[in-house]
Amino acid sequence: MTELLQRVLAGGHESFIAAAYGISLALIVVELVLLRRRARRARTRT
Amino acid sequence: MPPTSSTDTTLAHRPNSRARPSGWLAYASAVRFDPLAGRLAPWCFAAAAILALAGLYVGFGVAPTDAQQGEVYRIIFIHVPAAWMSMFIYLLMAIYGGLALWLGTRLSSMMASALAPTGALFTAIALVTGALWGQPTWGTWWVWDARLTSELLLLFLYLGFMALEGAIDEPRRAERACAVLALVGSLNLPVIYFSVQWWNTLHQGASVSLTAAPTMARTMLAGMLLMALACWLYTIAVALVRVRLLLRERGLLPGGKRSEGAA
């Protein structure tokens, strides 16, 4: 796994793996943040 | 005839119903469903996180390097579960939409609404990770082949569903319109699934099928299934939280005020 990480950092084809997981995680975080904001809005309105 | 609560959304459309639903059907009532969803959601989030960590460990620490694609194939552990979820969620939305039109259960419509953003999320993940996998293996980010194009169409269906819901002010009308869209849009699902068999596509055929043995190493399959389970539990958790919010926003719980214009 360390070797894979080194190759990712070196910017080879393996960096596509980091991009794929990074973007996926970012999209999930965005959904959770929006959900949290909506929950806050609902709490203040009711 | 037993009295029916004014907040009992299950029977709201069915004035001739003679009895309260029993067993699992009772949870189609907003009043019964809300506390159950509140209890289940945190457990689903926790289980999803644990399974995702286990799936990533198996995928990156245990599964071997692919003989042809090298390390890049490890995108499979997010790409394939996301693509599966994109189709399963739309299928669920179509089923909920059908139930809402047939039985008039508002909770079914709300489940479909709650699932749509997460379905769009997984479709976007499948498309983006697919492009990131395509560049090093195929030499291109995108081709207009049947699998990729029908998956992109699925993303537009999700976005259309959410836009339609937001465009109609009256919730009942919006729910009916969205249910019809979900049902009609589900015709795209077999096109996505069978596209690699019906047409000559750059996208590879299925490595995992219900009718044939998988064509990949067991550890690769294990990592993928763990990630798929994690995605399922995440979807359930987020949908439960979102339905609870919808119930409050639409004032369908006792003591709840109706609030318009929620995202």
Residue A4 makes CB contacts below 8 A (sequence gap 6+) with A14, A17, B60, B71
Question: Best residue in B58, B69, B71 to probe A by mutation, most A CBs within 10 Å?
Answer: B71
ipTM of the complex: 0.87
DSSP-assigned letter for residue A22:
H
Which residue's structure tokens are 């943040």? A33
The shortest CB-CB distance from B121 to any of A31, A41, A45 is to A31
pLDDT-based confidence at residue B16 (cuts at 50, 70, 90): very low
Q: What would the two tokens of residue B209 be? A: 């099928």
Residue B237 makes CB contacts below 8 A (sequence gap 6+) with B40, B41, B42, B44, B45, B48
The shortest CB-CB distance from A46 to any of B74, B135, B259 is to B259
Give phi and psi for B258, each to the nearest 5: -80, 135
Those of residues 105-134 in B touching chain A at CB distance below 8 A are 117-118, 121, 124-125, 128-129, 132-133
Interface size A-B, in CB pairs within 8 Å, comes to 79
pTM: 0.85
Q: Mind listing the pLDDT tens digit for each residue in B191-202?
A: 999 888 888 777
Q: Which one has a higher pLDDT value, B9 or B42? A: B42
Question: Best residue in A7, A9, A28 to probe B by mutation, most B CBs within 10 Å?
Answer: A28
Chain A: nearest CA to B17, how far in angstroms?
31
Contact B72 A13 (CB under 8 A): yes
Those of residues 1-46 in A touching chain B at CB distance below 8 A are 1, 4, 7, 13-14, 16-17, 19-21, 23-24, 27-28, 31-32, 34-35, 37-39, 41-42, 45-46
The answer to whether residue B250 neighbours chain A at the CB level (below 8 Å) is no
Q: Which domain holds residue A19?
A: 2-45
Chain B CA closest to residue A45: B259
Q: How many domains in chain A?
A: 1
Contact B72 A21 (CB under 8 A): no
pLDDT-based confidence at residue B260 (cuts at 50, 70, 90): very low
pLDDT-based confidence at residue B17 (cuts at 50, 70, 90): very low
Chain A CA closest to residue B239: A35
Give the closest residue to B108 by CA, choosing from B258, B261, B246.
B246
Q: Mind listing the pLDDT tens digit for each residue in A10-30?
A: 777 778 999 999 999 999 999
Q: What would the two tokens of residue B125 be? A: 């993940």
The shortest CB-CB distance from B257 to any of A17, A35, A45 is to A45
Following DSSP, what letter does each residue of chain B receive, concatenated?
-----TT-TTSTT-TT--S---GGGGGGSHHHHHHHHHHHHHHHHHHHHHHHHHHHHIIIIISPPBTTTBGGGGGHHHHHHHHHHHHHHHHHHHHHHHHHHHH--HHHHHHHHHHHHHHHHHHHHHHHHHHHHHHHHHS-S----HHHHHHHHHHHHHHHHHHHHHH-SSHHHHHHHHHHHHHHHTTHHHHHHHHHHHS--SS---SS-SSS--SS-HHHHHHHHHHHHHHHHHHHHHHHHHHHHHHHHBT-STTPPB-----
For position B211, what pLDDT does the model report?
67
Q: What would the two tokens of residue B194 be? A: 């069978």
